[in-house]
Structure formats: structure tokens, C-alpha cells
Amino acid sequence: MTAPSPVALCDYLVSLRTEIERELAAMLPGAPACPATIADAMRYSLFAGGKRFRPILTLAAADAVSPDAATTRALAMPAACAIEMIHTYSLIHDDLPAMDNDTMRRGKPTLHVVYGEGMAILAGDALLTEAFALLARLPADAGDGVMALRKLAAINRIAEAAGAIGMVGGQAIDLLAAGHAADASAMDAAGLRDMHARKTGALIRASAVAGAIMADGSPEQIGAVDQYATGLGLAFQIVDDVLDVVGDGGALGKTVGKDAAANKPTYPAMFGLDRSKRLAREAADAAVGALAGVHLQGGRLAEIARWVVSRTS
Amino acid sequence: MTAPSPVALCDYLVSLRTEIERELAAMLPGAPACPATIADAMRYSLFAGGKRFRPILTLAAADAVSPDAATTRALAMPAACAIEMIHTYSLIHDDLPAMDNDTMRRGKPTLHVVYGEGMAILAGDALLTEAFALLARLPADAGDGVMALRKLAAINRIAEAAGAIGMVGGQAIDLLAAGHAADASAMDAAGLRDMHARKTGALIRASAVAGAIMADGSPEQIGAVDQYATGLGLAFQIVDDVLDVVGDGGALGKTVGKDAAANKPTYPAMFGLDRSKRLAREAADAAVGALAGVHLQGGRLAEIARWVVSRTS
């Protein structure tokens, strides 16, 4: 089997992103059922130019499990959109003055700067809640409950990943660390890894796993996708930290050097730039290695892992 | 059939509340899976002395639908606990400085006063997310998917009620109104009713409906429970507004007269006290009327409606 070229991967990512953005727009509640201000605020952040990395991963994992792309896509798309809503809510709340106090995100003023803090809190709450409404929606011909069982499994996995034992727990650790770290050594390597495993890793894993669940993956396939996404999420986070040091602020759409200025524990601060880059490559290698032996190598997952460590924004 | 005495209702409510509090304590995530600070913050607000009105309603609706109390209770309890978590999160976020800026709730300092704004935002997020994790949890012997279909229906109904078209939408309307109302007449009666139907009514309706769904109510029974809870929720809100004017601050555990001081649109401000009390009684009558003809009159729902209009705290 010949490996697809990088151009083909790019086409694949762009086509998924286009589909995701169309579906997100269609799935958001609008006036008059939804008060206009909160609908506008949700839309502002949801369409602020995100990479759609997590929902792409959901669809790519579903594609890797099942060769019938059209059917698989329809099954996995609600989960993909829900995960992007959850990711967006987490950014809105993370940017608030009581948290990271960020005024710019992806080259635009953050939501609370434009709509005020109260409305930003509510828009985040609404996106998180809407994600679960969307995940739990069943067609009228819901049938015998097989699909319902898959949906429940995906909801449970996503909620655990997004909640106190996952993403929100990681945010809490980060919030406390930012308040106390006189220098980066206030958190050790195990602590840094635990924080990131929760803060970004858990939802990235759930993104991929939800795709595999919705595409009816075997327990072995779901386990392998989970292991793949664990490596991928780690690589993604290390690259994020590295880009905060060496990245191009214009391309990233945010202030670089902010982590260091805030004395945030990061991989470059703890291991230096070169070793951080090596750790990212090793994590991506581990991700690819997890795909062997469970019939997932025909999909795009390995290419996506390579892309994550090569990205510059 | 003899109507049960008020004492019996009180016993019923106390016994449900005891069960709910035991289950809530057991269902909350704890250390080490969950970072200690966020677990503590969630617990602080969840066990701050709430009436447990919404989860009681879930269990009472389930009891009214199905005579087999033990089985029904087990099926409806996760939904009851999830709804109390969602209610608690909404209070935490509502109390934040960027929202109502309340420093006391139920006689205790509000969460952000004790844990800081950032941690209060996160604890609210965590409770909301945990609610859905709990709702989507299935026993290992999940079986043929019949229970999964009921659970999905309940999740969807609860999420819609809690989200942008429901509770969060109502909060957004309230936030904008509080900023603009030079006097209470800035919002008309239809606007006030719409705000409350979203802000408190939607989740109260979903509380009762989720109980009826989990107890396998017929579509007619679920519809009747929904109509009942619509009247009940309206009565509950009007009484809340009235108690803010005439209530005993000590018994309520909060500052009375706060709505008026904040120029918030309320029923007493719009209709006067006497007419507000009459409107509450009429709403409770309508609630009780909805129970006729669908075999729900043997339960406690009618008594609960009477209790709501007679409460003093």
C-alpha cells in the first residue's frame, strides 16, 4: 500500500473541516426559540476560526474503523460537533478575567471583551449544555436501541473526559499552579504530565474514541484508538507549548511568550526546546504504533499524528 | 380514597430528600481521580442546604407513574441527582460577580467568596458536566437498549431545558434586563412570563418529565406531567418573588428585598402582592387539573402543588 501524499491529507482535512462547519451552523439553536444575544455570543466563539482538530479526529477515527464513509460520517458527525462545542466552551471560560484573562484568541477579541463577562459565562454554559442535547438527539425511527447504546457510551465517555476527573480537573490544577508557581519548578514532570493529560489529553482521547464507538468499532479497535489518541494528545500539547516560545504570533492569532510571562509550567520550561521537540516526536511515534494489528492503518490517523508534530500554528 | 394528611406529605418529602442526599454524596467524583480542590468546591455548593425541590419532583413523578416504588426509584434516581447538580451549577454561576453578585446563599457565603471566582466557574462547569456523565452511565448488563432509549430521551429533554432555549436563555434575558431596567415596567407581563418559563420553568418541567420517562410513562402521562409541572413551576416562581418581598430572611437564608433593590422585574412589582398570590394559587390549580384522566392522581403530585403555594421559605 502506498502512503497517501501530504497534499491528499490536506484535502482530507479541509473537506472534513468544511463539513463540520456546515453542520455546526445547522445544529446551533437560533432565534426565536433561543434569545438572540446568547445565540449571537455562541456563534461568535464557535466560528472564530478554530482548527477543528478534535472533531476532525472524531470523523477520522470513524473513517478508520469503518470503510463505509457516508454512513459512518452521518453517525459520527453529531459527536464531532458536540466535542467542538465543548472545546469552544472551555476556551471561553479559560479566557475569562478570573481564569487566564486573555483578551485575544485566534486574532479576534475574546468573547467577554465583546459581550461582557456575564454573557461569556452563559455562552460557555450554553455550548456545553447544547453539546449534550445534540448527542442525545435520536431520529424518530430510533429503532431497537442499538444506536441508543452507542450514543450513551459516547456521551458517558465525553462527559467523563470533559468533567472534574478530566478537562475541568486539569483547569483547576492549572488555576492553582498559576497562582502559586514562583518558578516553573513548582510542578514536577509527573505533575505537568497529569495536568495536560486532564486539561487537553482527556478530550482529545474522547474525540477519537467517540468516533470509533459511533462507527461500531470492536473493543480492541476502541482501545487502540484510545491509546493512539493518548500519544497524539501529548504530542499536540507539547507542540502547543513549543509554539508559544518559537511560534509566529500572527499565524497563531495569539500572544506568544504568554506562558513564560505567566510563569506557567510548560514542556520547554521544564525540558528545554530540543528535548521538548523530541518528546513530541516520540509521543507521535507511540500514537502510530498503537494502530498496528487492529485494522486501523488504512485510515488517516497515522498521517494526522505526523501532521500534529510538524504544524507551525 | 382518603387524601393523605399533611404530615404524611412531610414524611414523604423528608424521606425522598434523605435518599437524594445519600445518592448525591455517593455519585460525586472524589480524589484521587478528581483533584481535591474541585471536588471540595463541588461538594460545598451541592451540600449547602438546598430544598431538593427538583429531584423530589423527579422521584414523585416517577412514583405517580409506576406503583412499584423500589424499582422506579432506582431508575429515576440518577436523573434526580443529575438535575440537582444542574440546578446547583446554575446557582453558582448566577451568584458570580459578573452575574447577580450574591455573597450569601442559604445562609452561607457563596462559592466564589470561599474558593475564588475561577474555581467557582470551574465547579459549576464540573457539576453540569458530571450530571450528563451520570445520566449516561449504564450498568454492565445494559441489555437490549430499551433502557438506553429512555435514558437518551431524558438526557435530551434535560439538556434542552437547561440550555440556550431554556434556563441559560432565561439567565441571558435576566442579565440584559437587570442592566437596562430603570423601573420594573421595562419588561411587560409577557416578557416576565417568558423569562421565568425559561429561567426556572424549563428545568422544573424537565425534572418531572424525566421522572415520568424513566418510570416508563405513556406519552399521555408524560404530556400530563409536563403540563402539571408547567403550572407548578409558575407557582413556584411567583411564590419565590413574593417571599423576596414578605419573607423571613433568616428562614430563607438570603437577603430579602434584593430583587426590588436591583430593580429586577418580578410578579409583585408588576401585579402587586395580592394579585401575585392569587396568580400562584391559580397556577397550582391548573397543575392539579392536568393530572385528571391519566391515572396520576394516586401519587403525591397534587399535594406537592398545594405545598408549593403554602411554603414560607
Q: What is the pLDDT of residues A190-199, one digit of tens each?
A: 999 999 999 9
Q: What is the pTM of this model?
A: 0.95
Q: Which residues pair with B108 in a beta bridge?
A: B105
pLDDT digits (tens, 9 = 90+) for B279-297: 999 999 999 999 998 989 7
Query: Residue B159 contacts by C-beta under 8 Å, 6 or more apart in sequence?
Result: A129, A130, A132, A133, A136, B132
Share of chain B above pLDDT 90, in %: 76
Task: Let me know if residue A191 belongs to a domain.
Answer: yes
Averaged pLDDT for residues B140-167: 90
| Residue A289 confidence (pLDDT) | 96
> Domain of B193: which CATH number?
1.10.600.10
Share of chain A above pLDDT 90, in %: 77
Task: Let me know if residue A35 belongs to a domain.
Answer: yes
Cβ contact B129–A124 (<8 Å): no
Grouping H, G, I as helix, E, B as strand and the rest as coil, residue B109 is strand
pLDDT band at A149 (very low <50, low <70, confident <90, very high): very high
| Residue B31 confidence (pLDDT) | 87
Cβ contact B35–A169 (<8 Å): yes
Task: Let me know if residue B242 belongs to a domain.
Answer: yes
Within an 8 Å CB–CB cutoff, is residue B199 touching chain A?
no
| Residue B5 confidence (pLDDT) | 54
| Residue A141 confidence (pLDDT) | 67
Q: Which domain holds residue B228?
A: 6-310
Cβ count within 10 A of residue B126 = 32
Task: Let me know if residue B294 belongs to a domain.
Answer: yes
Averaged pLDDT for residues A6-15: 86
- The number of folded domains in chain A is 1
Contacts with A43 from chain B: Cβ below 8 Å: none
Task: Let me know if residue A1 belongs to a domain.
Answer: no
Give me the half-sphere count of Cα atoms (radius 13 Å) on the Cβ side of residue A270: 19
**A163 → closest Cβ in B126, B156, B176:** B126
Cβ count within 10 A of residue B284 = 26
Task: Let me know if residue B1 belongs to a domain.
Answer: no
Within an 8 Å CB–CB cutoff, is residue B151 touching chain A?
yes
d(CA A171, CA A93): 10
Contacts with A202 from chain B: Cβ below 8 Å: none
Task: Let me know if residue B188 belongs to a domain.
Answer: yes
pLDDT digits (tens, 9 = 90+) for B211-256: 999 999 999 999 999 999 999 999 999 999 999 998 776 555 666 6
Inform me whether the pLDDT recorded for B313 exceeds 50. yes
| Residue A184 confidence (pLDDT) | 47
Averaged pLDDT for residues B46-56: 96
What DSSP state is assigned to residue A104?
A: E
Within an 8 Å CB–CB cutoff, is residue B138 touching chain A?
yes
Nearest Cα to Cα of residue A287 among A240, A220, A230, A236: A230
| Residue A178 confidence (pLDDT) | 78
Share of chain A above pLDDT 70, in %: 90
Cβ contact B34–A117 (<8 Å): no
Whether the Cβ atoms of residue B248 and residue B196 lie closer than 8 Å to each other: no
Cβ contact B149–A151 (<8 Å): no
**B152 → closest Cβ in A89, A119, A148:** A148
Question: Which residue did the predictor score with more confidence, A8 or B96?
Answer: B96
Residue of B27, B28, B37, B38 to mutate, testing the A interface (most A Cβ within 10 Å of its Cβ): B38
Task: Find the closest chain B residue to A191 by CA distance.
Answer: B35
ipTM of model over 0.90: yes
Task: Let me know if residue A195 belongs to a domain.
Answer: yes
pLDDT band at A304 (very low <50, low <70, confident <90, very high): very high
